[in-house]
Amino acid sequence: MGKQLGIDLGTSKTMIYLKKQGIILCTPSVVAVERKSHSVVAVGEKASRMLGKTPGSILTLKPLCGGVISDYEATSLMLNRLFRDIGAYSLFNRPSVTVSVPYIANEVEKRALEDAVIDAGASSVSLIPQPAAAAIGAGLRINSPSGSMLVNIGAGTTETAIISMGGIACSRVLPIAGDDLDRAIVRYIKSNYRILIGEVTAEAIKRRIGSAHPSVSRGYLEVSGRNLVTGLTATVKVSSTEIRNAIMEPIAIILAAIKSTLENAPPELAADIYDFGILLTGGSAVLGGLDRMISENMGVRVIVSKNPFDNVCMGIGRAVENPEKYASFISGH
C-alpha cells in the first residue's frame, strides 16, 4: 500500500506528515525548472537559494500566492519531486494525500488543488479545511459547545475562524500576511533612504527587529542595499520603531479582519471568545508585540500558540492517524 501523507501546502513552506512517523519534511515552496523542457532542476531549500539568481534558461517559481495555487503546473512538479525525494512515489507506489485548503476556497480552487495533487502522482486526495487542521493541531477542544477563535497569520494569507461543536461557524480569509509586511519594509527603506533591498533582506529585518506594539522595541539593525542615486552599496541604521511604522498599514488590515470576524459571529459564540480569548497561530504570530496589539485593540485575551509553525501540519497529521474521529471535516475523491 502507498504511503499516507498529510500536506500543508503553504505560500512560504510545504510541510509533509507521514502516517505513524510525524512531520518528515519542511521546505520552502519553491521549484526551479528548465524553461524549455519544464524538467525540474531543484525544489525546496536548493531552489529557494536560486531565487533571483538563475540564468535565463532556468525559471525559479513560487507556485503559491496568497494561500492558493497561482501556478498549477509548478505545484504538481514541485509535489512530484518532493514525493520522490521522500520515497513516497514510484511506479507501483503512489501516496494517498490529505491536504489543507482555506475554508472559504471555492469549488474551482478546491478542484485545482485536488487535480494538482493527483497530477503530482497521488493515488487519492482528501481535503481538510485549514482552520480545522490548525485547531486540531493546536489542541483546541473543537467538539466543545463553547466557541473558540483561531487566527492563522502565515506568509500569504491571514485566516480567521470561529469553531464550535465540531464545525466552523464562520471564517474569513485575507490575502495579506507576512509577505506583505516584508514588502512594506522594502517600500519604506526605498522611500525614506533611497536604498533598494530585496524581500529576503526585508524578512530578515522583520524577524530581527520587527514589532507591532510600542512596548516591544528591539533596538537597531544595520541594513545594506543598493543606493538608487549612486548605484553603489550603501548601509543605514534602521530602528525597531521605524519598522513598526513601516508595517502599520498591513497590520491594520489584518486587525480589521479579526475584528470583523468577531463582530459578525453569533452573539453566544462571541461571548465565549470574550471569555476565553483568541489563539494566534502561523509563522507571523510570533511577530514582536502582535498579540499585545490585537489584545489592546479588541479588549480580548490573545494567546500565541506553542507551535505556530506546524499547527496546521500536525492537525492534518492527526486527521490522517484518526480518520474516523475527524471524518466530519474531511472531503475527497
Contacting positions for ligand ATP (CB under 6 A): 10-13, 67, 154-157, 177-179, 203, 206-207, 210, 282-284, 286-287, 309
CB of 102 to Mg ion, least distance (A): 9
Q: Which is nearer to ligand ATP, 262 or 285 (CB)?
A: 285
Does position 225 interact with Mg ion (CB under 5 A)? The reply is: no
Q: State the Cα–Cα distance between residues 55 and 35, nearest whole angstrom.
A: 10
Q: DSSP secondary-structure letter at 226?
A: E
Count Cβ neighbours within 10 Å for each residue of 208-221 and write b for 16 or more, e otherwise: bbbbbbeebebebb
Q: Hey, is 62 helix, strand or coil?
A: coil
How big, in percent rounded to 5, are the helix, strand and coil portions of the chain?
40, 30, 30
CB of 90 to ligand ATP, least distance (A): 28
Residue 56 burial (C-beta neighbours within 10 Å; 0-12, 13-18, 19+):
exposed
Contacts of 21 (CB under 8 A, 6+ apart): none
CB of 207 to ligand ATP, least distance (A): 4
Q: State the Cα–Cα distance between residues 253 and 256, nearest whole angstrom.
A: 5
Residue 113 to residues 32, 196, 276, 303, 332, Cα–Cα distance (Å): 20, 36, 35, 31, 11
Q: Would you give the binding string for Mg ion spanning residues 264-283, x where CB under 5 A is met? A: --------------------
Q: State the Cα–Cα distance between residues 144 and 217, nearest whole angstrom.
A: 39
- 210's contact among ligand ATP, Mg ion, none, with CB below 5 to 8 A by partner kind, is ligand ATP
Nearest CA-CA partner of 315 in 17, 9, 72, 14? 17
- 178's contact among ligand ATP, Mg ion, none, with CB below 5 to 8 A by partner kind, is ligand ATP
Q: What residue is closest to ligand ATP based on CB? A: 178
Q: Which is nearer to Mg ion, 24 or 58 (CB)?
A: 24
Q: Would you give the binding string for Mg ion spanning residues 10-29, x where CB under 5 A is met? A: x-------------------
Q: Which is nearer to ligand ATP, 242 or 272 (CB)?
A: 242
Q: Which is nearer to Mg ion, 190 or 207 (CB)?
A: 207
- Could you tell me how far CA 311 lies from the centroid of its own chain? 11
CB of 114 to ligand ATP, least distance (A): 17
Cell 489543507, residue located: 100
**DSSP line for 63-90:** -EETTEES-HHHHHHHHHHHHHHTT--B
Q: Would you give the binding string for Mg ion spanning residues 99-138, x where CB under 5 A is met? A: ----------------------------------------
Q: Which is nearer to ligand ATP, 206 or 213 (CB)?
A: 206
Does position 154 interact with Mg ion (CB under 5 A)? The reply is: yes
- Could you tell me how far CA 208 lies from the centroid of its own chain? 19
Q: Which is nearer to ligand ATP, 58 or 286 (CB)?
A: 286
Q: Hey, is 279 helix, strand or coil?
A: strand
Q: State the Cα–Cα distance between residues 222 and 209, nearest whole angstrom.
A: 11
* Count of residues of this chain found to bind Mg ion when the rule CB under 5 A is applied: 2
- 155's contact among ligand ATP, Mg ion, none, with CB below 5 to 8 A by partner kind, is ligand ATP
- 309's contact among Mg ion, ligand ATP, none, with CB below 5 to 8 A by partner kind, is ligand ATP
Q: Which is nearer to Mg ion, 6 or 10 (CB)?
A: 10
CB of 26 to ligand ATP, least distance (A): 9
Q: Which is nearer to Mg ion, 99 or 236 (CB)?
A: 99
Task: Return phi, psi of residue 159, to 5°.
Answer: -125, 125
CB of 185 to Mg ion, least distance (A): 21
Chain residues that interact with Mg ion, rule: CB under 5 A: 10, 154
